[in-house]
């Protein structure tokens, strides 16, 4: 079927018509829920796709790998985990659908993608060998070859579906004109922003007011069941400190993994980026003049890091423009040419790429070579120590598990004494609340804690700090909270509610004064507010302190001098007056037409593919092929 679809455009369009029809159908019918209860009793299972289970362990493994590449705020950890779960579910659904349709990824397609992602795996058309290839994959992607190639296969499979769903989508002239107006019609506003959080600290509450507020909202304040636990922890950090690594072991590891320490030609660079994407020729010329001025400062002795922080439009600006080490083949040709031809310490001329105009500084340079044992010894030592600690921890965990199976109701102190580990206490803690003593949130530990009886020993559970065995010491049943239990929370809620009311009231007063003829700045000042004037912005722009322009889309339908009512914007209250309007210039249309057509096309394709994704999920739910364990997912989503 796939070959036929690839060869015959007519059939491709028939297929696309089927997909669009499927999306439309799934959007309007009411689906009968599938058998979602069948996996609810599995403490580690989050979802099942056509019998293939997705576990908490699988998601946490991917989350830990992601955390090694970028910092994940603890408050957003649950969100990241849910996104990873959604992606895993979608990948499994695609595999099921691909099997039904006869879609597959060939070895040739996979090899071609590997050449693009990892060009160093080939010298010309010759494969470098499995050992070096394995080392390169581990070093660059921190995963095994099997995982790496499976991800490539899934990526190629998704590409096939994306093409099938979106290749027939087109853009009309009217849609391009609409996008032109969206990008080029601009307004400038006077505005004042009232932030309830800034008013909250000044709001006081008497005991009587707080008690009345608590009584009115009493149903909000309930204490769920809480439990106190006593635990014995085999601490990985302590095991790592005790793990002795010999010089012979270090050298053996170096010799075995020497391919990992081969360095290609590489350069450490910093840059300052001036974006030109979507700009007119006149705007690009203004940007070039600005870049020339910054380049002159850089070559006159100004600190490059400071110039980057002040002027760069790249995410690296906070690091002073530092991009770290790059290797040949990693960046676009124009950037690479400058990075690998300039001497160490040199600053480039202006370099134009598809992203914009760059000023590049070569901080350091290294030619291809193999790092010596002495250079990497300090890197190897903690790796081997961690490996030894992991093996020791795993052995202790196995021994602990055997001891629990032999006597699951023995006192925790007696159990801990056998293994030479201390006993500590934590809680009372509510379900879903992280235990920082053990390294943070752990769904497996949380599930076991609220399932066990008092005095029962748990099996060893791996936590961030090692392996833990615990017993429930005390169970405090759920109950209605008293004001004394939650006074701080009630006060915070009272202040938040009153501050929102106060901010809204002041915003309404400000709008009323301006509409009655009072000058914006004078009216704002009389209410203790700061009046600001924005730069001219389009519908795809933003306003400082307010946010994306779509939050105040009404401004584009207002006349000059017209004032908005008090408007709720992302938890704040805003009042604004349209100061100027700037219509789109017809002469700029032809210059932007191609780029706008691509932008609209990409947007329509994204919407169509998202519709396909939602329709596929609903179809699999209706057929009982997709089951979700909502209870486990809620635990997964809780912030650390």
Say yes or no: 427 and 546 in one domain. Answer: no
- What's the CA gap between 638 and 434, in Å, rounded? 9
Domain assignment of residue 46, yes or no: yes
Span 364-386, pLDDT tens digits? 988 878 888 888 888 888 788 77
Beta carbons within 10 angstroms of residue 43's beta carbon: 17
367, 395, 424 - which closes a domain: 367
> What domain count does the chain have?
4
Domain assignment of residue 280, yes or no: yes
Span 155-207, pLDDT tens digits? 999 999 999 999 999 999 999 999 999 989 999 999 999 999 999 988 999 99
Mean pLDDT for 27-49 is 56
Q: What is the pLDDT of residue 431?
A: 86
Say yes or no: 145 and 21 in one domain. Answer: yes
Whether 593 and 4 have beta carbons less than 8 Å apart is answered as no
pLDDT band per the 50, 70, 90 thresholds, residue 29: very low
Say yes or no: 575 and 439 in one domain. Answer: no
Residue 76 belongs to a domain with what CATH number? 1.10.4030.10
Say yes or no: 190 and 203 in one domain. Answer: yes
Statement: residue 57 has pLDDT above 70: yes
pLDDT band per the 50, 70, 90 thresholds, residue 119: confident
539, 555, 582 - which closes a domain: 582
pTM exceeds 0.75 for this model? no
Say yes or no: 312 and 456 in one domain. Answer: no
Domain assignment of residue 260, yes or no: no
- What's the CA gap between 490 and 223, in Å, rounded? 13
Domain assignment of residue 277, yes or no: yes
Say yes or no: 6 and 124 in one domain. Answer: yes
Domain assignment of residue 594, yes or no: no
Say yes or no: 26 and 51 in one domain. Answer: yes
Say yes or no: 534 and 561 in one domain. Answer: yes
Mean pLDDT for 68-84 is 81
DSSP one-letter string for 549-578: GGGGGGGGGSPTT-BPPPEEETTEEEEEEE
Span 539-553, pLDDT tens digits? 988 898 899 999 999
Give 443 or 424, the one with higher predicted confidence.
Answer: 424
Statement: residue 240 has pLDDT above 70: no
Task: Report, in this order, helix, strand and coil percent for the chain, each rounded to 5.
Answer: 55, 20, 25
Exposure string of 197-220, with b = 16+ CB inside 10 Å and e = fewer, is: eebbeebeeeeeebeebbeeeeee
Residue 453 belongs to a domain with what CATH number? 3.10.50
367, 396, 419 - which closes a domain: 367
Residue 346 belongs to a domain with what CATH number? 3.10.50.40
Say yes or no: 310 and 451 in one domain. Answer: no
Say yes or no: 423 and 455 in one domain. Answer: yes
Span 609-633, pLDDT tens digits? 999 999 999 999 999 999 998 888 8
Q: Which domain holds residue 310?
A: 265-367
Domain assignment of residue 213, yes or no: yes
Say yes or no: 14 and 156 in one domain. Answer: yes
Domain assignment of residue 179, yes or no: no
Q: At what angle do helices 77-101 and 56-69 cross, to 10 degrees?
A: 120
> Which residues, other chains included, contact 576 with Cβ-Cβ below 8 Å and sequence gap of 6+?
189, 190, 191, 192, 552, 555, 563, 564, 567
Say yes or no: 211 and 343 in one domain. Answer: no
Domain assignment of residue 255, yes or no: no
Span 317-374, pLDDT tens digits? 888 999 888 887 778 889 989 998 999 999 999 999 888 999 999 999 888 788 888 8
Residue among 79, 48, 45, 53 nearest 441 (CA) = 79
Span 440-495, pLDDT tens digits? 888 888 888 998 999 899 998 888 888 889 999 999 999 999 999 899 999 999 99
CB burial class (10 A; 0-12, 13-18, 19+) of residue 528? exposed
């Amino acid at each position: 079927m796939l070959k036929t679809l690839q060869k015959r455009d007519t059939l491709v369009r028939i297929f696309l018509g089927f997909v669009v029809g499927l999306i439309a159908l799934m959007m309007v019918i009411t689906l009968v829920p599938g058998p979602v209860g069948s996996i609810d009793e599995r403490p580690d299972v989050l979802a099942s796709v056509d019998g293939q289970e997705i576990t908490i362990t699988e998601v946490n493994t991917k989350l830990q790998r992601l955390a090694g590449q970028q910092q994940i705020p603890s408050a957003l950890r649950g969100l990241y985990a849910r996104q990873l779960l959604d992606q895993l579910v979608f990948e499994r659904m695609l595999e099921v659908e691909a099997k039904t349709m006869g879609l597959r990824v060939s070895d040739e397609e996979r090899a071609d993608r590997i050449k693009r992602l990892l060009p160093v795996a080939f010298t010309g058309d010759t494969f470098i060998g499995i050992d070096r290839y394995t080392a390169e994959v581990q070093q660059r992607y921190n995963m095994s070859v099997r995982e790496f190639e499976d991800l490539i296969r899934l990526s190629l499979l998704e590409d096939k579906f994306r093409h099938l769903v979106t290749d027939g989508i087109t853009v009309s002239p009217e849609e391009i004109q609409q996008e032109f107006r969206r990008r080029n019609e601009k307004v400038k506003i006077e505005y004042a922003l009232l932030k309830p959080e800034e008013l909250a600290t000044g709001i006081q509450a008497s005991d009587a007011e707080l008690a009345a507020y608590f009584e009115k909202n009493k149903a909000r304040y309930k204490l769920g069941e809480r439990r106190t636990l006593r635990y014995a922890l085999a601490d990985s950090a302590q095991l790592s400190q005790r793990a002795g690594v010999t010089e012979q072991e270090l050298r053996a590891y170096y010799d075995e993994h020497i391919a990992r320490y081969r360095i290609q030609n590489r350069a450490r660079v910093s840059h300052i980026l001036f974006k030109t994407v979507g700009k007119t020729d006149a705007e690009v010329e203004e940007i070039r003049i600005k870049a020339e001025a910054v380049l002159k400062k850089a070559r006159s002795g100004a600190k490059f890091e400071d110039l980057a922080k002040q002027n760069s439009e790249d995410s690296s600006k906070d690091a002073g423009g530092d991009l770290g080490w790059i290797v040949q083949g990693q960046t676009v040709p124009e950037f690479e040419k400058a990075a690998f031809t300039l001497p160490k310490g040199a600053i480039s001329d202006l370099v134009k790429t598809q992203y914009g105009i760059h000023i590049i500084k070569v901080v350091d340079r290294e030619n291809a070579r193999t790092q010596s044992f002495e250079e990497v010894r300090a890197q190897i030592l903690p790796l081997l120590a961690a490996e030894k600690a992991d093996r020791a921890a795993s052995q202790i965990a196995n021994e602990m598990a055997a001891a629990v199976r032999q006597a699951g109701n023995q006192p925790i102190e007696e159990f801990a004494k056998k293994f030479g580990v201390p006993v500590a206490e934590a809680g009372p803690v509510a379900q879903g609340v992280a235990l920082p003593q053990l390294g943070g949130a752990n769904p497996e530990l949380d599930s076991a804690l609220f399932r066990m009886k008092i005095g029962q020993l748990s099996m060893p559970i791996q936590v961030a700090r090692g392996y833990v065995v615990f017993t429930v010491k005390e169970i405090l049943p759920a109950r209605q909270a008293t004001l004394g239990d939650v006074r701080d929370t009630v006060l915070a809620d009272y202040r938040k509610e009153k501050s929102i009311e106060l901010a809204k009231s002041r915003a309404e007063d400000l709008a009323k004064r301006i509409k009655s003829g009072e000058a914006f700045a004078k009216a704002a000042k009389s209410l203790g507010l700061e009046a600001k004037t924005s730069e001219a912005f389009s519908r795809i722009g933003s306003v400082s302190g307010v946010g994306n322009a779509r939050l105040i889309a009404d401004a584009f339908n207002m006349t000059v001098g017209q004032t908005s009512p008090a408007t709720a914007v992302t938890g704040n209250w805003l009042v604004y007056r349209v100061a100027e309007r700037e219509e789109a210039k017809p002469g700029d249309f032809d210059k932007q037409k191609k780029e706008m057509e691509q932008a609209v096309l990409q947007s329509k394709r994204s919407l169509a593919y998202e519709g396909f994704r939602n329709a596929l999920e609903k179809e699999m739910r209706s057929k009982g092929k997709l089951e979700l364990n909502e209870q486990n997912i809620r635990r997964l989503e809780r912030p650390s």
